[in-house]
Amino acid sequence: MEFKARKRMPELCALFVALIWGLGWIPVRYLNQIGYDGIWGGIALNIGATICLLVYVSLICGFAKTSLKITIAAFIIGIGAATFFISISFTNVANAVLLFYFSPAWSTIIECLFMGRKWRWPSLVAISSSLIGIILVFNGFPALSSINFGDILAFSSGLCWSIGIALLFTTPTKPNDFAQLALIAMIGSVMAGVILALIGGPELGVFPDIETLVSNWYVPLLFGTLYYAPLLALSLWTSSLIAPALMCFLLSLEILSGIGSSYVLLDEPFGLNKLIGTIFIILGVTVEFKVQNKIAVKHLPQE
């Protein structure tokens, strides 16, 4: 019984991570309210987590040599994290979460094309269900005029996350690597956010004024230290042990906590189409989870 629980630990951690990730919109929206306008809410959160991880790795873990492949994997995951948290400032929470969770479909396609996975008809059902769900979220095939900057970022985030965790899963890692990998991911997040801010200019958010920086400098650091940094490190650890498609499907529990919490705490529209679309996406999650569950988790090393 103890061995079975230990074998399932990565999956259980992934489910826990998903539930907590679903609350990630709260620090971003709060930062927006206290003066970190638009894109700078997500960037400030990333910087806070970067500072925390830099201190932790420098003073406790120490820096270690990492392969180019795993560094690229962490960097891409960081870009995915950055685009997701930035998207929350530009679209409603339900759209951001649901568009991100087309990522299981991306991961299934990546596994079949590049990782030797055999194609199974339930995977087609899962992908089709996810696609139908997204169409319903937008009340039909979305016109270009109805897709905003946040929607594009959320969709891109799922693709980046799928690519990053596929690279991470296929690369050997050590238990002490994950704080440093989280730091690399956060550096990628900050760089991606700053580049987007420079390209988009003031339309994406005005840089915080001196008063905001002086009076509220500790807020993103606090959120980054207590919430973002540890959650990202735990996500990377579970991603190294669980196959990409199954990892994305496990993380899709974020749909419930993200949409549920935003529905309760925010006055954002969530009509019948979004409800049915959510059901279709969760259906896709369930179908693919049953396919993956027997084969996707690596055996943990014995002590």
- Helix or strand or coil: residue 91? coil
From the CA atom positions of the chain, what is the Rg in Å? 19
Q: For the chain of 303 residues, list the mean pLDDT of each consecutive stretch of 10.
A: 54 82 88 92 93 91 81 90 88 80 70 66 74 70 66 87 82 73 91 91 88 91 91 83 71 75 73 75 69 48 39
- Residue 168 one-letter amino acid: L
User: Is the distance from CB of 120 to CB of 288 less than 8 angstroms?
Assistant: no
User: Is the distance from CB of 136 to CB of 223 less than 8 angstroms?
Assistant: no
Q: What is the pLDDT of residue 218?
A: 93
Q: What is the DSSP letter of 270?
A: -
Question: Could you tell me how far CA 237 lies from the centroid of its own chain?
Answer: 14
Task: Give me the residue spans of the domains in the chain.
Answer: 32-292
Q: What is the pLDDT of residue 32?
A: 92
Q: What is the pLDDT of residue 248?
A: 67
Torsion angle of the four alpha carbons 33, 34, 40, 42, in this order, in degrees rounded to the nearest 10: -70
- pTM as predicted: 0.80
Q: What is the pLDDT of residue 144?
A: 55
| Closest to 26 (Cα-Cα) out of 75, 78, 97 | 97
Q: Which residues have CB under 8 Å from 64's CB, separation 6+?
A: 174, 176, 177, 180
